[in-house]
Structure 1
Amino acid sequence: MTMAAPTDLHFLQLHEISHLIRTRTLSSREVTEAMLARIDDLEPGLRAFATVMAESALVEADRADALAARGDWLGDLHGVPLAVKDLANTHDAPTGAGTTIHADFRPETDATVVARLRRAGAVILGKLRLTEGAFTGHHPDLPTPVNPWDTATWSGVSSSGSGVATAAGLCFGSLGSDTGGSIRLPSAANGVTGLKPTWGRVSRHGIFGLAPSLDHIGPMTRSARDAAIVLEAIAGHDRLDPTSSLEPTAEYSRALRLSSTPLVGFDRELAHAHFDEATNAMLETTIETLSDLGWRVVDVTAAGLAQAAEEWTALCGIETAGVHAETFPARAEEYGPDLSGLIEIGRGLSAVDYHRLLESRRAFTGRMRELMDDIDLLLLPGIGVGSPTIEQMGELGTDPKLFRAVTIPTAPIDSCGMPSITLPAGWTERGTPLAAQFVAGDFKEQLVLAAGHAFQQATDFHTRHPQDPRG
Structure 2
Amino acid sequence: MSYQDLHYAELLEVSRLLHSRELSPVELTTSMLDRVRNVDKKLHAYVRVMEEDALRSARAAESEIARGEIRGPLHGVPLAIKDIFWTEGVPTASGMAIHKDFVAHEDATAVERLRAAGAVLLGKLTLTEGVYAEHRPPFQAPTNPWSADHWSGASSSGSGVAVAGGLCFAALASETGGSIKLPAAANGVTGVKPTWGRVSRHGVFELAASLDHVGVMARSAADAAAVLGAIAGPDRKDPSAARVEVPDYLSRVSTGAKGLRIGLDPAWCTAGVDPSTAGAVETAAQTLRSLGAELKPVVIPSGEAMIWDWFGICAAQTALAHEATYPSRADEYGPALRDLLDQGRKMSGVELQRLLHRREAFSLALDRVFGEVDLLALPVLSFPTPSMARMQSVDDELIAGLHRFTCPFNMSGHPGIVLPCGFTQEKTPIVFQLVGRRFSEDVLFAAGSAYQRATDWHKRHPSIA
Of 157, 174, 186, the match for 1:189? 186
Structure-2 residue corresponding to 1:26: 23
Query: For the structure 1 residues 226 and 299, does the alpha-carbon distance in structure 2 shift closer, same or farther, using more than 3 Å as the test?
Result: same
1:282 aligns with 2:283: no
- Aligned-partner residue type, residue 270 of structure 2: H
Structure 1 position 402, deviation (Å): 2.3
Counterpart CA distance in 2 for 1:65 and 1:194 is 29
Secondary structure, in 3 states, of the residue corresponding to 1:152? coil
2-structure distance, mates of 1:288, 1:25: 39
Is structure 2 residue 196 aligned with structure 1 residue 199?
Answer: yes
Give the secondary structure class of the aligned counterpart of 2:340: helix
Structure 1 CA distance for aligned equivalents of residues 93 and 272 of structure 2? 35
**TM-score, structure 2 normalization:** 0.98
Cα shift readout 1:327-366 (whole Å, capped 9, x = no counterpart): 0000000001111111111111100110100100000100
Residue identity in the other structure for 2:311: T
The whole-number CA distance in structure 2 between the counterparts of 1:445 and 1:41 is 36
Please tell me whether the aligned partners of residues 387 and 428 of structure 1 are also in contact (alpha carbons under 8 angstroms). Answer: no
Selected match of 2:169 from 162, 168, 172: 172
Write the distance in 2 (CA, Å) between the matches of 1:127 and 1:420. 24
SS in 2 for 1:125: strand
Q: Does 1:135 align with 2:127?
A: no
Instruction: Kindly state the Cα deviation for residue 259 of structure 1 after the two structures are TM-superposed.
Output: 7.4
CA distance in 1, matches of 2:424, 2:363: 33
> Which stretch shifts more, 212-221 or 297-306?
297-306
The equivalent residue for 1:351 is: 349
Distance 1:136 1:200 in 2: 23
State the identity as a percent: 46
Counterparts of 1:181-330 in structure 2, within 5 Å, are: 181-256=178-253, 257-258=255-256, 260-330=258-328
Going from structure 1 to structure 2, the CA distance change for 1:6 and 1:275 (only over 3 Å counts) comes to: farther
| Residue equivalent to 1:361 | 359
Question: Hey, what's the Cα distance between the residues in 2 that align with 1:149 and 1:82?
Answer: 21
Whole-angstrom distance in 1 between the partners of 2:449 and 2:382: 23
Distance change (3 Å), C-alpha of 1:454 and 1:428 = same
SS of equivalent residue, structure 1 residue 426: strand
Q: Which of 5, 9, 14 pairs up with 1:12?
A: 9
SS of structure 2 residue aligned to 1:374: coil
Which whole-Å CA distance do the structure 1 matches of 2:137 and 2:278 have between them?
34
Of the three residues 97, 100, 105, the one matched with 1:100 is 97
Could you say what secondary structure the match of 1:361 adopts?
Answer: helix
Deviation (angstroms), 1:149 = 0.5
Q: Which amino acid aligns with 1:352?
A: V
Given that 1:36 and 1:54 are in contact with CA atoms closer than 8 Å, whether structure 2 keeps it comes out as yes
Q: Which runs of 5+ in 2 are unaligned?
A: none
Alpha-carbon RMSD across the aligned residues, in angstroms, is 1.4
SS at match of 2:98: coil
Equivalent residue of 2:198, what SS?
coil
Whether the 8 Å CA contact 2:418–2:431 is kept in 1: the answer is yes
Instruction: Letter of the 2:377 partner, please give it.
Output: L
The SS at the match of 2:203 is coil
Look up the equivalent residue of 1:166 and give its one-letter code. V
**TM-score of the pair, normalised by structure 1:** 0.96
SS at match of 1:44: helix
Deviation at 1:140, TM superposition (A): 4.3
CA distance in 1: counterparts of 2:147 and 2:257, whole angstroms:
39
Q: Does 1:454 align with 2:424?
A: no
Deviation per CA, 1:200-229: give whole Å up to 9, x if none: 110000000110100000110000000000
CA contact (8 A) 1:6 1:464 kept: no
Within the candidate set 151, 160, 163, 2:160 is matched to 163
- How many residues get paired? 463
8 Å Cα contact 1:196-1:419 kept in structure 2: yes
Q: 8 Å contact 2:258–2:291 — kept in the other structure? A: no
Corresponding residue SS for 1:101: helix
Q: Secondary structure at the match of 2:97?
A: coil
Q: How far does the alpha carbon of each residue in 1:246-284 deviate from its partner, in whole angstroms, 9 at most, with x for none? A: 110011011111375111111111122232222112112
Could you say what secondary structure the match of 1:379 adopts? strand
Kindly provide the amino acid, as one letter, of the partner of residue 164 in structure 2. Answer: A
Task: Write the letter of the residue equivalent to 1:374.
Answer: E
Alignment of 1:145-156 (within 5 A): 145-156=142-153
In structure 2, the residue matched to 1:122 is 119
- How far is the alpha carbon of 1:7 from its aligned partner? 9.1
Output the CA distance in 1 between the equivalents of 2:436 and 2:211.
17
Distance in 2 between the 1:367 and 1:391 partners?
38
Q: Secondary structure at the match of 1:220?
A: strand
376, 382, 385: which one aligns with 2:380: 382
Question: How far apart, CA to CA, are the structure 1 residues paired with 2:53 and 2:241?
Answer: 29
Deviation string, structure 1 residues 359-401 (Cα, Å, up to 9, x no partner): 00000100110111111111111222122211122233x2x22
- For 1:379 and 1:393, the matched residues in 2 are separated by 27
SS of match in other structure, 1:297: strand
Shift of 1:19: 0.7
Aligned AA for 1:318? A
Mapped partners of 2:265, 2:430: distance in 1: 19
3-state SS of 1:68 partner: helix
Q: For residues 187 and 36 of structure 1, do their structure 2 counterparts lie closer, same or farther at Cα, with a shift above 3 Å needed?
A: same
Instruction: Report how far residue 6 of structure 1 moved.
Output: 13
2:430 equivalent among 411, 423, 434 = 434
Secondary structure in structure 2 of the residue aligned to 1:151: coil
Instruction: Tell me, yes or no, if structure 1 residue 372 matches structure 2 residue 370.
Output: yes
Specify the code of the residue in structure 1 equivalent to 2:222.
R
1:340 equivalent in structure 2: 338
Q: Is the 8 A contact 1:385 1:402 kept in 2?
A: no
Structure 2 counterpart of 1:73: 70
CA distance in 1, matches of 2:171, 2:42: 19
Of residues 305, 329, 332, the one that matches 1:331 is 329
1:25-64 equivalences under 5 Å are 25-64=22-61
Q: Partners in 2 of 1:195 and 1:294 — Cα distance?
A: 23
Rounded to whole Å, the distance in 1 between the matches of 2:353 and 2:452 is 42
Give me the whole-angstrom Cα distance separating, in 2, the residues matched to 1:329 and 1:65: 49
- Confirm or deny that 1:110 pairs with 2:107: yes
